[in-house]
A and B are shown apart, each in its own frame.
Chain A
Amino acid sequence: QQQVKQSPQSLIVQKGGIPIINCAYENTAFDYFPWYQQFPGKGPALLIAIRPDVSEKKEGRFTISFNKSAKQFSLHIMDSQPGDSATYFCAASSPGNTGKLIFGQGTTLQVKP
C-alpha cells in the first residue's frame, strides 16, 4: 500500500513532442505528490509538486495532472527539448510527523533533436 507505481520505464520522443509519465498509488492518505528530475551524476532536483485538492498544476513547460478518484497522477512536458533528457521520478508522502518520500521506479526520458 506504500508503493508508487510509475510507467513507462523509458520513453523516447522527438524534440517538440509531449512526453507523458504516469504514476499510480494505493494509499489514500498520501497528500503531497512531487516530481523530481535527475541528470546522470547529480542528485534529484525538485521539479513541480501538487496536492490532491488541485486537478492540475503548471510550471513553465511542466504540468501535473491529478486524478484523485483514480489515484493517479501524471507529468506532461510541453515542447520537450534535448536538455530535458533525464530520469524523472514521481513521489508521494502522507501527513504526519514525518515527510519521508515514497518514490516511483523512475522513467528515463530521451528527447531526440
Chain B
Amino acid sequence: DSGVTQTPKHLITATGQRVTLRCSPRSGDLSVYWYQQSLDQGLQFLIQYYNGEERAKGNILERFSAQQFPDLHSELNLSSLELGDSALYFCASSVATGGGRYNEQFFGPGTRLTVL
C-alpha cells in the first residue's frame, strides 16, 4: 500500500458525460501528479499540483481540468467524454516538487474509466 488513495476504483459512463476522479496523497506529501495509462499511449503525464498551485502541464486535453484543495487532496475533472478517454487514471504524490530524490513518486491504485 503506497498510502495514496483514489476513488472511485471503477467508473462507467457514457459519451458526452462529465466525471470527477479523486485523489488523496500520502500524509506529508505536497505534490500531486495525474497520469493516464492506455494500451496505445502507455503512461502519460497529465498535470501536477504543488501545495495547491499548478506546477506543470503535460498532454492534457482542454476538456480535462484538475485542482488541488487546501487539504491537499486533488480532483481530476473530465468532461465531454469520448470513447478514447477510456483508460486508467493514476494519481501519484511526492514530498516536494522538482527533480531528483525528493521527487520519489508513489502511485495510487488508479481509477479505471470506461466510456460507452
| Interface, chain A (partner B; CB < 8 A) | 31-32, 34, 36, 42-46, 49, 51, 89, 91, 93-106
| Interface, chain B (partner A; CB < 8 A) | 2, 4, 31, 33, 35, 42-45, 48, 55-56, 58, 90, 92, 94, 96-110
Q: How far is the CB of A43 from chain B (nearest CB, A)?
A: 4
Say whether A101 contacts B55, CB under 8 Å: no
Contacts of A42 in B (CB 8 A): 109-110
Q: How far is the CA of A31 from the CA of B96 in the complex (A)?
A: 16
A103 and B108 contact, Cβ closer than 8 Å, known pairs A32-B99, A45-B2, A98-B56: no
Contacts of A99 in B (CB 8 A): 31, 33, 48, 94, 96-100, 102-103, 105
Say whether B99 contacts A44, CB under 8 Å: no
8 smallest CB-CB distances across A and B, nearest first, come from A99-B103, A98-B56, A43-B107, A95-B99, A103-B43, A100-B45, A93-B99, A44-B107
CB closest chain-A residue, reference B56: A98
CB closest chain-A residue, reference B98: A99
Say whether B56 contacts A97, CB under 8 Å: yes
Contacts of B56 in A (CB 8 A): 97-98, 100
6 A-B residue pairs with Cβ-Cβ distance under 8 Å, sorted by A, are A31-B100, A42-B109, A43-B92, A46-B107, A99-B99, A101-B45
